[in-house]
């Protein structure tokens, strides 16, 4: 599972250079230390041959939903079944995206408490989750774009805290994930070959438990429990 993450680079041009983004002049980028479900998330998708950035809501609403009030908001999609599940199948084939991040949070149960930990690459390098996005349109023309993060079995670095983890793409896999001409079998092979990167982790404040808290202090290390 992935229920919180961070994207804290100061300037949008850093993302432009890292991911090759073009044609996104209207983006009002803002760093976030505690991105939570239902909040806007920055995604990168391919349109008209260019990589474009956009903010969409985190929590995918399937396009076929009729009643928005009863619609699920699905924050994660299991990579093993994303190509078969009705909620994700169309997005997996036609609307894949990158979701930039520099860390994510998971919680370990210790007695009655849940202790939050932050996972990140060495030197807090930027990376991208494999994501999918969807466009829901209501009968009166209302349009909502949403997204979901793919997950996989946890790596040895993450398993002591949680059994699942977000699917982090290698840099050389990002282009294929976004390729409009990519064959479904090739995408499934990419997922099956997933090898998680080496991750570092440390304990953080329980202030991250509330999505109302969003400040650099959330990244500070606390005494680890193991």
Contact status, residue 93 vs residue 87, Cβ threshold 8 Å: no
Label residue 65 exposed, middle or buried (CB < 10 Å: 0-12, 13-18, 19+): middle
**CA distances for 16 relative to 11, 21, 64, angstroms:** 9, 5, 33
Strand 127-137 to 143-153 pairing: antiparallel
Residue whose pair of structure tokens reads 């619609």 in the numeric block: 71
- In whole angstroms, give the CA distance from residue 202 to residue 64: 41
> Which 3 state secondary structure label does DSSP give 92?
helix
Q: Taking Cα atoms as reference points, which of 57, 59, 22 lies closest to residue 42?
A: 57
2 classed as catalytic = yes
Name the catalytic one among 97, 106, 134, 145. 106
Beta strands in 13-142 (DSSP E): 32-35, 40-47, 50-58, 76-78, 96-101, 103-110, 113-120, 127-137
Label residue 141 exposed, middle or buried (CB < 10 Å: 0-12, 13-18, 19+): exposed
110 classed as catalytic = no
**CA distances for 11 relative to 18, 164, 193, angstroms:** 12, 31, 33
Name the catalytic one among 2, 97, 145, 174. 2
Residues forming the active site: 2, 106
């Amino acid at each position: 599972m992935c229920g919180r993450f961070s994207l804290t680079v100061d300037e949008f041009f850093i993302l432009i250079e890292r991911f090759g983004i073009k044609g996104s002049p209207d983006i009002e980028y803002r760093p976030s230390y505690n991105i939570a479900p239902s909040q806007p998330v920055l995604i990168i998708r391919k349109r008209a041959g260019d990589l474009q950035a956009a903010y969409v809501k985190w929590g995918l609403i399937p396009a076929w939903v009729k009643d928005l009030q009863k619609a699920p908001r699905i924050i994660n999609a299991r990579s093993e079944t994303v190509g078969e599940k009705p909620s994700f199948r169309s997005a997996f084939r036609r609307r894949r995206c990158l979701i930039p991040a520099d860390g994510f949070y998971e919680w370990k149960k210790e007695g009655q408490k849940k202790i939050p930990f932050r996972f990140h690459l060495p030197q807090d390098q930027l990376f991208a989750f494999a994501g999918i996005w969807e466009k829901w349109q209501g009968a009166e023309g209302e349009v909502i774009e949403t997204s979901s993060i793919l997950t996989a079995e946890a790596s040895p670095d993450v398993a002591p805290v949680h059994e699942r983890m977000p699917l982090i793409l290698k840099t050389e896999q990002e282009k294929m994930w976004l390729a409009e001409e990519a064959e479904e079998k090739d995408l499934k092979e990419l997922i099956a070959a997933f090898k998680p990167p080496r991750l570092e982790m440390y304990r953080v404040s329980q202030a991250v438990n509330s999505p109302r808290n969003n400040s650099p202090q959330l990244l500070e290390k606390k005494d680890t429990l193991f």
